[in-house]
Amino acid sequence: MTAFWVLAPVMVLAALGILFVRKAVHAALLLAVVMVSLAVLYAALEAPFLFAVQIVVYTGAILMLFLFVLMLVGVDASDSVVETIPGQRVLAVLVGLLLLVTLLTGLSQVSLGAAQGLGAVSPDGNIAGIADLLFSRYVVAFEVTSALLITAAVGAMVLAHRERLEPRRTQADLAAQRVRDFVERGTPLGNLPAPGTYARHNAVDTPALLPDGTPAPASVPRVLVARGVVRTPDPRREDGRGLDTPGPARSARGPGYSTNERAAVGGGGGTGTSEARRTETTGEPEGGQ
Amino acid sequence: MDSVTPYVVLSAILFTIGCVGVLVRRNAIVVFMCVELMLNAANLALVAFAHQHGNLDGQVAAFFVMVVAAAEVVIGLAIIMTIYRTRRSASVDDASLLRW
């Protein structure tokens, strides 16, 4: 029972955390905690086969699938806190408490007595016992399971498959598009500048410096700009962690990444014409890269 | 050997938490995780009762629950991805219309 009393509070706390964390990734990690702890409880309950299956199937496959879909959907797709139905949250908690009270009342009515344990049922070990059952009494269910799994695989392929509505853009198309953009809008014809060129350090989150000393936002990946983790290089800071605003109006600002930083890189510190040019370049799809 | 009542109580608590999560959360993926939590809680009860009664059928049932959960997760996540692709949102509130 030691494993139980150690793990039960952890599991309840992690499960409660799923209710309260804002980001879906954190919820997935908390769910992993619950599932691994459950696997240990299975081992404590004389179910070594389910212990292994729990780890392999749940924490290995299912949670990986969850994380994979989270990456596709967007990691920072955090939950909205707006209640669409008024009073729904309070009612939901109320209903949950009622359910818990009902379940616990039902449990308190029965006295289970001492557990019998599984030693007598499976003298050849847990896996042999489960195999005996699975391939004799439950063999039909076991075979039907295969149909279920095939249906699931085919269904997932059908659902996740996307019909191509337009012809595939070849490399020649992209090159032609790039030249057309250069002629019509003046977007750069060659590669975008590499991050960190002439800057204090050449990490990907540091924009390159133009000849006049202003940063070139087109040189940092758009993903970093969207996340707001782009640094501003300040040549005057010796430690290379210049986080001040670019241009002549430099003001001391606290360390760390902030949304102001992104505004400073994306919108501030530049003359009018190069500014317009820059936003245009940043908004350009990078299909030809 | 002592009773498995604490395990069943824990299972009830986890099931309730998952239930409230399904009702409260708005992100479809998190709702789905809460469904998984409920399935896991039911599994814990099955395994605990198998231990209590000295009967392996509970463990076989838990095994089948895991198989069905795996299939269900695959389909559910594919549906969520399809909805996300058409609506650019994984919130359960936005999918109020099933037409487009």
Residues 6 or more apart whose CB falls under 8 angstroms from that of A212 comprise: none
Q: Is the pLDDT of residue A36 over 70?
A: yes
**Residue-wise pLDDT tens digits, A6-27:** 999 999 999 999 998 888 889 9
pTM of the complete model: 0.72
Candidates A38, A84, A99: best to mutate against B (most CBs of B within 10 A) is: A38
- Say which of B2, B12, B51 has its CB closest to residue A104: B12
Cβ contacts (< 8 Å) between B23 and chain A: which residues? 88, 92, 95-96
In this structure, of A94-103, A137-146, B21-30, the range with the lowest mean pLDDT score is B21-30
Contact call for B51 and A114, based on CB within 8 A: no
pLDDT for A150-205, tens place per residue?
999 999 999 888 888 888 889 999 999 989 998 998 887 888 878 877 777 777 88
Tell me if A160 and B78 make a contact (CB, 8 A cut-off): yes
Six-digit token pair at A1?
């029972």
Contact A219, A282 (CB under 8 A): no
ipTM: 0.92
CA distance A240 to chain B (A): 39
A&B contacts, CB < 8 Å: 236
Chain A residues with CB under 8 Å of B63 CB are: 49-50, 53, 130, 134
At A114-150, the pLDDT tens digits run 878 777 777 788 899 899 899 999 999 999 999 999 9
Instruction: State the pLDDT at residue A289.
Output: 36
- Calculate what percentage of chain A has a pLDDT beyond 90: 36
Q: What pLDDT, on the 0 to 100 scale, is given for residue A81? A: 66
pLDDT tens by residue, A235-257 = 555 444 444 444 443 333 434 33
What is the residue-averaged pLDDT of chain A? 78
Query: Measured between CB atoms, which of B7, B29, B44 is closest to A66?
Result: B29
Chain A residues close to B72, C-beta within 8 Å: 152
